[in-house]
Amino acid sequence: MKYLKTYDKLFEASQKLTQRLTQDQLDYLGIHTEEEADGGSWKINPSTGLIDIEGDFSVSFGNAIDLFDIKFGTITGNFRCGRNKITTLEGGPTKVGKSFTCEFNYLTSLVGAPEEVKENFLCTHNRLDTLEGAPMLVGGEFICDFFECPEGEWSMAWAAENIDKYPILETIADLKTLQDMINKNPSKMVIELKSSWNKLKKNPKYKSLKFPDRFKKDITLTSDLADLGL
């Protein structure tokens, strides 16, 4: 009975959230998940209030200027919003199970882009002057107008290593940003930076970058092992 009551509460919450969507928004979701994406479906996640999609979402090749004031959550398939007139990704999905494409728009930043994309991330032919908001994890290639990051290599470590080659990377991998990430989660950053730590410390831009005392031995050891291919 306890589980039934919990389910009833979640269902009721989902119904209330659905009622907040306008008819135009409901039509928009129906068209771009069901008809254009080969049978996808959407639902409101009652625990987050975000729109989750099973399958693909596609709103490419139109005149859209934004994501219709809808806030997306998890997409199991592809999320395509390329070749429009979109100026912001605000409300975009947090996680995408396949590819995310937003090419040929009017974006000046990637704020609102997914935190995680399992396959490719494509944002070419925009007006980007910063990569702020870029995904933290991309399983496939990261392709923009400034560079193509090889499949599976996109990370803050890759960005820091290539900052001299691609100056726009400094908008997301500057000293302050990396230091803040280390301070917030040093154990995670030991793993993230293990293959590039020795190289980073030789770059004047990152000379003052440091880990808390209790992690200094860990980052030194793991980076040395990475240099040996271990």
Instruction: Output the pTM of the full model.
Output: 0.85
6 has pLDDT over 70: no
Average pLDDT over residues 41-45: 94
Q: Give the pLDDT score at 224.
A: 82
Q: Which helix (H) or strand (E) holds 51?
A: strand 51-54
Average model confidence (pLDDT) for the chain? 89
Q: How much is the pLDDT for 10?
A: 47
Structure tokens at 138: 């991309």
d(CA 107, CA 190): 33
- Residues 49 and 60: their CA atoms lie apart, in Å, by 25
Q: Is residue 9's pLDDT more than 60?
A: no
171/169 Cα distance (integer angstroms): 5
Q: Using one digit for the tens of pLDDT, what is the confidence trace for 50-66?
A: 999 999 999 999 999 99
Asked if pLDDT for residue 11 goes beyond 70, the answer is: no
Strands (E), the chain: 41-44, 51-54, 57-58, 72-75, 79-80, 95-96, 100-101, 116-117, 121-122, 137-138, 142-143, 148-149
CA-nearest of 167, 155, 136 to 194 is: 155
Q: What integer pLDDT is reported at residue 110 of this predicted model?
A: 98
